[in-house]
Amino acid sequence: MATTEPDKRLHAELAADLGYYPASLAPEDVARYRAQVAERKARAEAGERDGWEPGGYRQHKWDHLKEARRQAEVEASGRARWPTSTSEP
């Protein structure tokens, strides 16, 4: 937990850039956080989307389940329309 005023400012600055409060303010962690922020900004400037933004990959997280449900419905409707043949002579 940040106890000194400079630590509190650093913690708030990192939280504003990262979107969450980092757990550690150790110098190597702060360097890693700043690298993450720089990478995120470079991706945003290049036009790449973060996964959580609208249109990102997280939006399509459950598409495989929707497709499986659609396939099951199509197969069920096909079976209902075309009854199996009976084995009566």
- Judge whether residue 2 has pLDDT over 60: no
Tens-place pLDDT, residues 39-70: 888 887 877 766 656 656 666 778 888 899 99
Tens-place pLDDT, residues 63-80: 888 899 999 999 988 888
Tens-place pLDDT, residues 6-21: 889 998 988 888 888 8
pTM of the predicted structure, to 2 decimals: 0.49
Q: For the stretch 15-42, what's the b/e string if a residue is b when 16 or more beta carbons lie within 10 angstroms of its beta carbon?
A: eebeeeebeebeeeebeebeeebeeeee
